[in-house]
Chains A and B, each alone.
Chain A
Amino acid sequence: MDRKGISLKIGEFASDVGQIRDLELTVGRITRDTWAETMGPTPFPGVTALRSWDRLLLSRYRPFYLPFCDLCCLCTYGKCDLTGGKRGACGIDMAAQQSRIVLLASCIGAATHISHARELVTYCIGRSGTTHRIDVGGVNVEVEAPITRLVSGVRPETLGDLERVLEYLEGQVTALLSATHTGMEGDALDFESKVLHAGMIDQVGMEVADIAQVSALGYPKADADAPAVPLGMGTVDTRKPVILVIGHNVPPAVGIIDCLHDRGLSRDVEVTGICCSAQDMARYAPGTKVIGPISWQLRYVRSGIADVIVLDEQCVRTDLLEEARRVRSPLIVTSEKNCLGLPDRTDDAVDQIAADLAAGRLPGALILDPEKAGAAAVETVLRVAPERKKQGVLPGLQALTGDADRCRGCVLCRRSCPNDLPIPEAMEQAAAGNLEPLGALYDACVGCGRCEEACPREIPVHSCIIAACSDRLTGETFTMRAGRGAIQDVEIRKVGGPIVLGEIPGVVAFVGCANYPRGGNDVAEMAVEFAWRKYIVMTSGCAAMSIGMYRDGDGKSPYEMFPGAFEAGGIVNVGSCVANAHIAGAAVKIASIFARRNLRANYEEIADYVYNRVGAVGVAWGAMSQKAAAIASGFWRLGIPVIVGPHGSKYRRMLLGRADRPEDWCVYDARTGEKVQVGPVPEHLFCAAETREEAMVLTAKLCMRPNDTTRGRALKLTHYMDLHRRHYGMVPEDLHLFVRTPADIPITMKDEVQRILAEKGWEETTIPDPTLLLRMIRAGKG
């Protein structure tokens, strides 16, 4: 791995052979390369290095743009009206403008992960030193950084090695962002190629972030039996002082946990968390409490349980200072990216900061040193908790009925609600004393607070919904398996064959945020369904929490029902958002460890392998963020399809295949060089589904790959047909497109399928050794 910055200066030097004066020698990097694998074609790829691969994908999965509005308003030429094929003042048309916005979103997402990775690497180096070895699974994980190796061509061995990778990523994200400037890129497909590039570097950024924290902070290391952690508001002991951490960057939470430990207070203070900081806290200290996904922010803060609130970065509500003030909880912000107008107290003494916060002289403080932020949070909570007495702002029964009584049925709340919840009708009932309809909105409420902003009567609508089912909230006592991090090499060896041959019907990853159309239960039920069907289910972030907030008839959570191993029927929580890299990493490791393809800087070949052979699908049911956009883009470049929920259509662009165009679905047979029609597998790269049922049917379908053996295809078809029939009441109309030979037909459905094939005029085809890349054809190579 590289080392940079060696500088040698010689003022004057004389010897028998001559004299040197004023020599300055700078060596940019020294390479310590212990990786014997041959360097592949695209080390540290620039923006266009993989453009031809992107074009191959984009010729199958053409963008379908869904503009938010008719205009472009990005520069002072505008606003420009782009309707009816008109171009803006800079010459851009609607398709390019939409792809430009998609690129912007992906750049924001990638920049966020990469910047987060930079913070974590710096923090971990500060804690453990640059030479601290990367270790994500001991002897069980030799390929410790599959995505980094694949993209950059380097094998990072120490934390210091990750800095070089970060420099590359930072350069790329800057270049990509610049392409969105007025008068830069003008072609929609070239924008899309850049989107895929942003996604790829995002995956590297996430991997760097997670392997740094796993290596330095003692998280579970590729552990299928990672500890069970408490999940839900009901798990909090409200008699104790309570600290709440919200965000994604764990160092301040680590500061809190370490401080409590050092002061012998670990049992006396509850450390609770929302979103990915909670995921990572739980990996660091399994006794901490995970409250829930991001949509739990308002409800938990307003409950008043948290005596001190600590924010770091990403997806944190930007109005939390006001919310914290209302419940008299001091707020500590810890990220230079999220200062909230608060005074910088980083250089002040902990006691002084705590005294000011406890006395209410300050509503909050910015503390940019995570250790000090932790100490200040602990000191403050000890001072504040006895006084606060957990005072919240959720209305009591009487106040609630009074609020409901003020409702005039103007419907503005409903018209602001992303899920179109029937709030006015529920308010009317509540005013008459029936709280049930209001409480029934709880599950589908994403906690955005828009209803309250809209209400002309200033009714605290969201609070009313929460208050109407307050016992639901306090009864939320679940468990979640802590994030395990990477997948072991040995697990990959075991399941690589069955996945590639199609005998494990697929790998389904439930990831992303909690902007669900009908609540998190949808995600849990989908995960359980696919685990029962012996798919490998992976999960992370808020989706992993939603899965934990489910119980079967026997009261068991999915983490108790299914093992945490990367195996058929496992539910594998990898960890926080940045741990998503292990999901793509597992697919890459199948190509490298199981199939022994060269990994080093060999992106195109590995992506071609994954695309044609690894039946993996991502389901980001509640995706809302730009980070989710970047994560999805990283999956697409590897040829892994992603399904989003109905709100995901607001990402403004789908990548859809056309099953009705057979000419789109040809691959080369790597053995012979012949072109073979393999059917629409996988049919789409990015598609929004309308309902959970549709997402499940689509998932089963998108797990099919050209390389499936007949046994594997028969199994995948069984699941597709079964789910289709169960949810749509009929056999899939496109069934014939997925049957290549009679041996593909599921035995139990033989007569029915044969009849359909006959009706459709089906013809048998061959099963190739599939590739999209001409250079992978072996015939004639000797």
Chain B
Amino acid sequence: MRLYASATVAEVLDRLLADPAVAEAVVADRTLPARAADMRPFPDWLDAGLRSGLEGRGVTGLYSHQAEAIEALRGGRDVCIVTPTASGKSLCYDLPVLQAVAEDASTRALYLFPTKALGQDQLAGFHELADAAGIEVAAAIYDGDTPAPVRQTVRAAGQVVVTNPDMLHAAILPHHTKWFQLFEQLRYVVVDEAHTYRGVFGSHVANVLRRLLRLCAHYGSAPRIITCSATIGNPGQLAETLTGRAPVLVDRNGAPAGEKRVLILNPPVVDARLGVRASAYGLVERAAVTFLRADRQTIVFGRSRTSVELLLTRLREALREGRGPVGRVRGYRGGYLPSERRAIEHGLRSGDVLGVVSTNALELGIDIGRLDAAVLAGYPGSIAATWQQIGRAGRRRELSAAVLVATSGPVDQYVATHPDVLFEASPEEARLDPENLHVLLAHLRAAAFELPFEPGERFGAAPADDLLAFLGEDGHVRQAADGRWYWASENFPASEISLRVASPGNVLIIDTGGDRPRVVGEVDLFSAPTLVHEGAIYLHESRQYHVDRLDWDERKAYVRPVDVDHFTQAELAVTLKPLEAFASDAVPGGERVHGEVMVSSLATIYKKLRLESLENLGWGRIHLPELELHTTAYWVAVDPAAVAGWRRDELDVALVGAGRALQTVASVLLMSDPRDLGLVSQVRSPHAERPVVYLYDGVPGGVGLAARLFERHAELVAGARDLVADCPCDAGCPACTGPRLESGGEGKRLASRLLALLSGARADIAGAPAA
């Protein structure tokens, strides 16, 4: 029974590290110091009701970041607030909004959250504060679930409207005349969880905000924008790209925090030659069970629904063996009913729930209070997401702990062998490209529908006339005699855009497993051949679906839920043609280029691979037409003289191996899914007549990944070189240059040689290359 005696986090950590299996796996053990609160008094101008309301809730002052944010807003500036989880971020916008409502009841505010659940969570908090302050304010959610009669009330009288970008885009902006009271009086726009607005989604959202601000200007309002982001590498730039305006950056957190110890564990190598490691689950279970037995509130993050269920079962079994607190450990993931989720969140805050196993569904700002320990089963894919998950553990005063257990995947192994990436490097940058021509043109159509364009009027970076003239060729937009550009079509352009995917012609995914067919999601056309071909295992919200049939002409994939221990990986025969170089530059061993390319891809076969071990379980053919992707790419053209003595087949293997390593490092650097970047290598490019490795943006027009890779070429090559050199395998493995069988055992050696050549002198890595 002593096993379950309550213990402090420090004692649990000692206990854990006394276990040889754990101790041997530690690749990093860092302690983050405690931080005292940095408090400021309430400002003089604060409404008396608000002040007493806050004091009544035990809040006697503001944290420094809250004070900075509200003063900047008071001064008429936009702000971008960067704060970790649970640092009182909501007050940074709730307070100025309530103050404005108290001063002038006609004030309106718009809150944008990426998901419905977050909107509900935040609205509840807002109402509590408003009630405590005795301020009457009509705040309501406006989303797809809002009933029609309520919608009308919200439009006419909602002072604070809580919605999401999709709803703003499709239901509010095109119908702005019904929302004129909102647009006339809009004082604040809150863009929370802004770090989620990256990639295609972010590129769309930036254009939705352009449309919003355009309408505000039309109705005579000039709202301040409050952007909130988790810690990422470029929060201010993200906010500026998203909103088109430079905010005051508030990134010094004034909330107190206790000391935190972070461990990174890498499971032991079981086959050194093949570079195969033990599963992460064993260590995750050991760590989590040790905390739970000591009565320490713990959250375990799995990467998929399957792994959450697996971990939950293992933890419960382990606890049951010793009659542990089995019933107090719960699962939490997409697919659970909202009421179940609310109950678990509440249980976590009250302490009734001791442990929770979750997908990243809990990564976003849902309030679950502060826990003692976080255990991460696998690297979450980005430094920023890692810190968000780690941030779930963290008491105000006492010590907390976080344990990251690496899987055998390439990105995980890169982090495990380079833990400084996590602690020293700045987190990834969120990339988006509102100027993506495909995205831009789609929103320009929607914007012209909403309001005619003045001649010379800017939309984003530049005047829109050339683009409008281009749209005019199809007759949907026309320039009238007054020079303005008018929408001239029966079409409803907003309905042709889905913010979460890249291009029109999406393939709908239809679940036929239930009582009646149900659309569970969509994928863009260019991803469809590899993601939803017949026989594919498609993952949606951490759930596995088997694709029974793909109706290509109808753009529909028929799936049913399954629970299997494998995933599928499609192979593409890809040809790439460079169309235009936007920028190029001499680098050691060749040239780096950023430009526009046409990628033709034909899905050929798919493999079934076992989860975790990546063991090959079989394969099948894919019969689908070839697709063309018009996008941006970054490429490295190797100087033929530098590889003069190489055999053609050697060069081929070297380019593929180096390309894989570059792709892995690129996805670490850019906070992107490795799938977002396509890889093509050509031993003798028909265009440049040289060996070339291309990394191309996987969505039409790109989201700015290629441009950023072009800038960070030196870092990328150095990172790839380290990745290959530091990998414990002897001749290449899936974690570095690809499986050794593909390269005849030469992959690692040849890729290293090529990467060394491209690195030039060591001195070049840190600074800009000497052009």
- Check if A and B associate: no
A interface list, Cβ under 8 A from B: none
B interface list, Cβ under 8 A from A: none
